Amino acid sequence: MVEQSVGAWATVRFNAADETAYRSYMRARIVPLLRIGALIGAGAFSGFFAWDYLLLDDPLWVTGPIRLAVVLFMLLGGALSYWPVIRDDSAVLFVFTVCIYVGVAIGFAAIVSQLPGGFLAGLPGFMVGMIFIPAFVAYTWQSAVAVAPLIVVPIGIMAGAGATEFELINAIAWLTGGASFVIGFSYVLVAINRNNFALELSVQREKQRSEDLLLNILPADIAQRLKADETVIADHRESATVLFADLVGFTELSRTIPAARLVELLNDLFSRFDRLTQEHGAEKIKTIGDAYMVAAGLNAGVSDHVTAVANLALDMKDAFIAFQREHDLDLKLRIGVHSGAVIAGVIGTHKFAYDLWGDTVNVASRMESAGVPNEIQVSEETRTLLSPNFQVQPRGKIDIKGHLAKNVYLLRR
């Protein structure tokens, strides 16, 4: 999470994970800027060669080789930034940046030491190099480290080359003043970058929270279609399997225990069912009071929807027995399963819902309501699709509203 410091220009502090992400974020911005800076620097160094002609009669063999070496050095630095060892490690990238500045500082100081009056006239060149530093750093302290070569190296070379006291004092004043500007501007830029990254993190997390909420309501493929502004989402599936589960005795229990305890128990049981539904690749459709509805075969994620739901039903039965023992409740569970064609779609614009329609849904509901407590009742259609590995016990024919009497079976382990 992000912790905002106090103050308009204070930097944002991140936890360890977000700080690592911030370094990656800045690295992705710094590397392209470093390459552009190398090209600009090489162009500037080449262009300033004309300035040498104002101070030397024939600078080609005096400052020319030094400028060429510096230009090639900067171009090589830009090229090396494509190397993964440098590009993908923030610490290595920073050391690499400082090394470039050390090389440029040495080269430029060597040039001005060869020019009459160069220790005075050449100072703006160092200032030009400094102004790029804030774009190449992720932290304020890094700008202080990067600007140090542009102070220490020129002063050292000037002192060694016999610069006058005035030239040294003048150089120290200009270079330290420029460095102060660079460090101050770096602080402002770092504050802006960190605040922008914090904002991006917040947006990403809100987006992810919305995504997670949407996926709690809709199947993943349906959520994608809804986000793509598909106005009518309706699919016909020739073969799917629908499961209904219902608690026997729950209404009586609701009259004897507090509301909070009732919801707590139901949430515990349905959370167990939710985990099993995910494990078996099925889709939770909805809960209606103490009833739980699941389906499989609605998308390409589960090829054998009958097997998936059969295994889910058996595991739900086991989970219910464990739940019943833990809470010492006088409840029973009925489960009904039926397979066939369904229509699946999203209805509503406010508090929309993903639901199923068709005769298959009705029969699956009847399989549950006409079932046996603590048993899993499956239809003839479902039994036909089950593999021989599953054990079923014939129960005979039962009356189904709107249908002829159907053969039904009890699914066992």
Q: pLDDT value at position 96?
A: 94
Residue 6 pLDDT exceeds 60: no
pLDDT band at 405 (very low <50, low <70, confident <90, very high): confident
Residue 8 pLDDT exceeds 60: no
For the chain, the residue count is 413
Mean pLDDT lowest among 112-116, 123-127, 225-229, 358-362: 225-229
Q: For residues 143 and 133, what is the distance between their CA atoms, to the nearest angstrom?
A: 6
Q: pLDDT value at position 369?
A: 93
Q: Give the tens place of pLDDT for each residue, 133-187.
A: 999 999 999 999 999 998 999 899 889 888 889 989 998 999 999 999 999 999 9
Choose from 33-37, 120-124, 234-238, 349-353 the range with maximum mean pLDDT. 33-37
- Answer with the residue of higher pLDDT: 216 or 325: 325
Q: Are residues 394 and 363 in contact, defined by beta-carbon separation less than 8 angstroms?
A: no
Residue 92 pLDDT exceeds 50: yes
* Alpha-helix runs per DSSP H in 218-304: 220-227, 250-254, 259-279
Q: pLDDT value at position 393?
A: 95
Q: pLDDT value at position 115?
A: 81
Residue 70 pLDDT exceeds 70: yes
Residue with tokens 């003048």: 170
Mean pLDDT lowest among 21-35, 216-230, 326-340: 216-230
Q: What average pLDDT does the segment 395-412 reach? A: 88
Q: Are residues 382 and 338 in contact, defined by beta-carbon separation less than 8 angstroms?
A: yes
Q: What average pLDDT does the segment 81-110 reach? A: 92
Q: For residues 199 and 2, what is the distance between their CA atoms, to the nearest angstrom?
A: 9
Token pair of 297 as six digits: 């075969």
Q: pLDDT value at position 79?
A: 95
Q: pLDDT value at position 220?
A: 76
Q: Give the tens place of pLDDT for each residue, 326-377.
A: 999 999 999 999 999 999 988 877 777 888 999 999 999 999 999 999 999 9
Share of the chain above pLDDT 90, in %: 58
Q: pLDDT value at position 301?
A: 63
Structural domains for the chain? 2-211 (no CATH), 230-412 (3.30.70.1230)
Q: Chain-centre distance of CA 101, in angstroms?
A: 35
